[in-house]
Chains A and B, each alone.
Chain A
Amino acid sequence: MSEPLNEQLSAFIDGELPNEESALFVRQIPRDAQLRAAASRYYLIGQAVRAEQPSVRRGFAARVLAAVAQEPGASGAAAAVSAMARELPRSRWFGLWKPAAGIAVAAGVAMVAILFFQQRQGEREPPEVIAYIVPNGTPYNVHLRSDKAAEPTQVIGGTSGEPRSYTVPPLAPATETPLGAARLASYVLAHSEYSSLPGRRNVVSDAAVQDIEATQVEAAQAEAPKP
């Protein structure tokens, strides 16, 4: 994605793009898959560093990998990290990260990278994602999954040496979705009838855009033609 477009996206997300430009920019988003992916990435990384969502699902890491894999010339985790690192400091989502991380990452954020952990041997699960913030050269690890906090990690990119790290515990232990996606979706939709507030809009919007790959699998099984 071109640098001016990147800057525009960043300004747009923060509501700082002039109105005339916003109107033009908005028309591009539905037509430009790369632009949409970049917008998602900014939001996703902001979420990751805030570590406010305990629901780091299987699809999360897969989406990050898929997004960075589209970067020209990217190959492997290191390339993905450097691609993210190139892009991130320009994002104004830093404004959101600061309070959420609970640390004073003021003006001197030197580098932010997303680190990818190697896949567990013998498993075909997507790698775990860890956000790694380096304000003024001091590293902070933000673990997205509490059950991974104690595991040895392989750090890719960023400065090393200083052992100080800060782990943001999720509000509750994270697990893969224990319920089937179709079942969860049916609960959420049934609940949305009683959800009276702007949250209801979110539920309905989610129903319209949510990535429900697992639902598709279940639906396919349920609807398979009977012999």
Chain B
Amino acid sequence: MMTVARRRSLLVFMFAAVCAAASAAEEPRQLLERMNQALTGRNYVGTFVHFSSGHASMMRILHRVENGSVTERLVSLDGSGREIVGTSTELTCYLPDQRKVLVEPRKDQGPLLGTLPSFRPELLEFYTVEAHGAGRVLGHDNTQLVSVMPKDAYRFGYRLWLDEDTAMPLKTQLCDADGRVIEQIMFTELVWPAHIPNSEFKPQLSTEGFTWVRAQSPQHLDVNAPESLLGRAIKLPPGFRLSASSSQALEDSDRPVAHLVFSDGLASVSVFIDSNDRGLQRGHSSFGSSAAFSTAVDGRQVTAVGEVPPRTVEFIAGSVQQARHAAGAASHP
């Protein structure tokens, strides 16, 4: 029989252990918050190597915050010579190899380098956030490795090597649930200039003779639109919820395509329901680290796309079919 004193000691010990665990869990999350602030709120110019899909590519990123306005430029330093220039209102992609310029309205103010969302408690149900101590990357001795690893195989995780002083991610790996590296980005040069002149954000190519393609802003889907109803009926992997829905004209579509977005707060999957008659396809595709799965549902092309494992996009696209059949004529437009 345990005595009262022993019970108290045990409770005190357990409380201390819980506090210690909570404190340990706070630290990496604070680091990630600092990383977000650094990526969005300061000037930086860097060169990084991007390993993805069998390619090693060199990219240069410029990010400037001036008078509350953000300007960015991402340049491919080899091969295609493609560039992306972002302002607070527009994103412009220069594709010299295709002699084309794509311009689209910018719907968010997130940096091209991306940030991690704030870690809500429910997110920790599906991811483990841990700090793994200091290391040395790009000449920075005080680099903290933080991992955000998924607890199941429906989503990918990240390993981020953050400079402790500036919280900039000097090296990032995209990993699956077993820790296997899918993609890696490593800065080879990173500076924080106080001022970056406008001339640095001008593309270094002539666009004479290029075709300019200007995308329209997506329209919000009516909550009672068949696709919206469908989005709410789809069975999803644990933690995923419908987070946005719109209707938009894509570059190669005659009619608007319904676009539903499902997210667990970190990973996201888009489902496109396309009624354009261009031949229905079924199967897996990929684009960089994004997986896609297409299927045909009642004469429509349904494609799920996201930076998630292939099984997740297949699961979600397959669920559209089930939900569609379950809803029957009620949801038929």
Determine if chain A interacts with chain B: yes
Chain A minimum-CB-distance residue to B188: A26
In angstroms, how far is the closest chain B Cβ from the Cβ of A157? 21
Tell me if A162 counts as interface (CB < 8 A to partner B). no
Is B65 an interface residue when CB atoms closer than 8 A count as contact? no
A223 touching B211 in the complex, CB below 8 Å, given contacts A29-B78, A54-B284, A179-B292: yes
Known contacts A187-B272, A207-B82, A223-B211: A57-B58 contact under CB 8 Å:
no
Residues of A within 8 Å of B243, CB to CB, are 194
B29-47: which have CB < 8 Å to A?
47
Task: Give chain A residues whose Cβ lies under 8 Å from the Cβ of B98.
Answer: 215-216, 219
Q: A50-B180, A215-B98 are in contact. Are A197 and B115 (CB under 8 A)?
A: yes
Asked whether, in the complex, the Cβ of B284 is within 8 Å of the Cβ of A208, the reply is no
- Residue pair A202, B284 in contact (C-beta under 8 Å): no
A to B CB contacts below 8 Å, 29 in the list = A13-B51, A22-B138, A26-B47, A29-B56, A53-B286, A96-B181, A171-B310, A178-B281, A178-B285, A179-B281, A179-B292, A183-B252, A186-B250, A190-B218, A191-B269, A195-B114, A195-B306, A196-B114, A197-B114, A197-B116, A197-B307, A199-B267, A201-B113, A201-B185, A202-B174, A202-B290, A208-B83, A209-B55, A209-B59
Does B55 lie within 8 Å of A194, measured CB to CB?
Answer: no
Contact A209 B57 (CB under 8 A): yes
Chain B interface residues (CB < 8 Å from chain A): 47, 49-59, 74-80, 82-84, 93, 97-98, 100, 102, 104, 107-108, 110, 112-117, 137-139, 156, 158, 160, 169, 171-172, 174, 176, 178-183, 185-186, 188-189, 211, 218, 243-244, 248, 250-253, 259, 261, 263, 266-270, 272, 278, 281-294, 303, 305-307, 309-311, 314
Contact call B303/A209, Cβ cutoff below 8 A = no
A residues with CB within 8 A of B: 13, 15, 19, 22-23, 26, 29-30, 36, 39-40, 42-44, 47, 50, 52-55, 57, 60, 63, 96, 99-100, 170-180, 182-191, 193-211, 215-216, 218-219, 222-223
Instruction: Please give the distance in Å from B239's CB to the nearest CB on chain A.
Output: 15
In the complex the two chains form, is B84's CB within 8 Å of A196's CB?
no
Chain A residues positioned under 8 Å from B189 (CB to CB): 23, 26
Smallest CB separation, A141 vs chain B (Å): 19
Question: Once bound together, how far apart are the Cα atoms of A178 and B296, in whole Å?
Answer: 12
Instruction: Decide yes or no: A210 and B284 within 8 Å by CB, A171-B311, A205-B59 being known contacts.
Output: no
Question: Cβ of A206: which chain B residues have Cβ within 8 Å of it?
Answer: 52-53, 287-290
Residues in B with CB closer than 8 Å to A44 are: 54-55
CA distance A177 to B303 in the complex (A): 12
- A26-B189, A199-B114, A201-B114 as given contacts; A47 in contact with B54, CB under 8 Å: yes
Interface centre among A23, A200, A201, A223 (most CB of B within 10 A): A201
The answer for the CA separation of A111 and B174 in the assembled complex, in Å, is 28
- Determine if B252 and A218 form an interchain contact, defined as CB atoms under 8 angstroms apart: yes
Which residues on B sit within 8 Å (CB–CB) of A223? Answer: 211
In the complex with contacts A39-B56, A172-B314, A205-B52, A190-B259 CB distance below 8 A? yes
- The CA of A47 and the CA of B107, in the complex, are separated in Å by 34
Q: Are B294 and A43 in contact (CB under 8 A)?
A: no
Nearest residue, chain A, Cβ from B262 = A194
Question: Chain A CB within 10 Å — which of B54, B117, B284 has the most?
Answer: B54
Cα of A182 to Cα of B278 in the assembled complex, Å = 13
Question: Complex formed: what's the CA distance from A202 to B169 in Å?
Answer: 14
Among B97, B251, B253, B263: residue with most chain A CB under 10 A: B251
Are B176 and A52 within 8 A (Cβ)? yes
Inter-subunit contact B250/A43 (CB<8 Å): no
Select B183's contact among A13, A202, A215, beta carbons within 8 Å: A202
